[in-house]
Structure 1
Amino acid sequence: MSRTGHSMICSVLTAKDLESFVDTYKIPKRLSPTLPGPDESAECRQDRIVLYTMSFSSCGVQYPLSPFKIALLRHFGVHFSQLHPLGFMRVVHFELSCVVVSGEPYVPCFACFIN
């Protein structure tokens, strides 16, 4: 158990897996992607964020995030790692639908869409 009372979530990736993940999803090297140490839990801190690789493969995440997605995260006060893959797919679907009808995705409109 961690100090917060939750089970530790440990990384199962190898260094080669991380390198492949970074290349596949075009994560900028300047973000210094690293794996947690063997006795280190995967939790967000002030100096880092945690990404769950399964979320990327199941919902088509691409970096850098679009300005709409960043504005949406800020509006709702959540971190990317707090999104469920199905919720993120809903965001992607909304954004693509707006683009298809020649519109810009708009955060207040999305808020109405999900209610």
Structure 2
Amino acid sequence: MSRTGRSMIRPVFTTRNLESFVETYQIPERFSPTLPGPDDSAECTPNWIVLYTLSFSSCGVRYPLSAFKVDLLRHFRVHFSQLHPLGFMRVVHFELSCVAVSGEPSIPLFCMFYKLISDVDWFTFAK
């Protein structure tokens, strides 16, 4: 994605799509899921966070996030909405790989394989 990628994303959901998404992924109503306006860009504010549906459908994101994912985001001081979906998919893959070999995912182990990088608009994890 280009350096202007995140700021250029525009909503494509309808109200009906949002209702179906909220039901499918069991997003609690207390989060007040809301669609941005047609001319709004996907930017976080102090009162709102941005979620990309691609993260749910392609990257295995489910709420609540696991303790490992929350700790990792806190460790790197990155908000979930700042991560490129493919970077978050690496986190999911790492966590599942650890569980598959009867291990526990940990931040030091994760850092042996990946590092946080930024391309101005997004953060991601690179090998």
Q: How well do the aligned residues superpose, as a CA RMSD in angstroms?
A: 1.8
- Name 2:28's counterpart in structure 1: 28
How many residues of Structure 1 are paired with residues of Structure 2 in the alignment? 110
- The 2-side partners of 1:64 and 1:37 are apart by 26
- Name 2:52's counterpart in structure 1: 52
Structure 1 unaligned spans of 5+ = 1-5
- Name 2:71's counterpart in structure 1: 71
Question: Which amino acid is the alignment partner of residue 83 of structure 1?
Answer: L
Give the C-alpha shift of residue 82 in structure 1: 1.7
Structure 2 unaligned spans of 5+ = 1-5, 116-127
- Name 2:119's counterpart in structure 1: none
Where relative contact order (Cα < 8 A, 6+ residues apart) is larger, the structure is 2
Structure richer in strand, relative to its length:
2
1:83–1:62 Cα change, 3 Å? same
Give the C-alpha shift of residue 38 in structure 1: 3.3
Give the C-alpha shift of residue 64 in structure 1: 1.2
Question: Which amino acid is the alignment partner of residue 49 of structure 2?
Answer: I
- The 2-side partners of 1:88 and 1:53 are apart by 13
Is the 8 Å Cα contact of residues 10 and 42 (structure 1) preserved in structure 2? yes
- The 1-side partners of 2:56 and 2:46 are apart by 23
Question: Which amino acid is the alignment partner of residue 107 of structure 1?
Answer: I
* Identity across matched positions, percent: 73
- Name 2:103's counterpart in structure 1: 103
Is the 8 Å Cα contact of residues 10 and 41 (structure 1) preserved in structure 2? yes
Question: Which amino acid is the alignment partner of residue 104 of structure 1?
Answer: E
Is the 8 Å Cα contact of residues 25 and 61 (structure 1) preserved in structure 2? no
TM-score normalised by structure 2 residue count: 0.77
- Name 1:18's counterpart in structure 2: 18
The 4+ residue runs of structure 1 with deviation greater than 6 A are none
- Name 2:125's counterpart in structure 1: none
- Name 1:43's counterpart in structure 2: 43
TM-score normalised by structure 1 residue count: 0.84
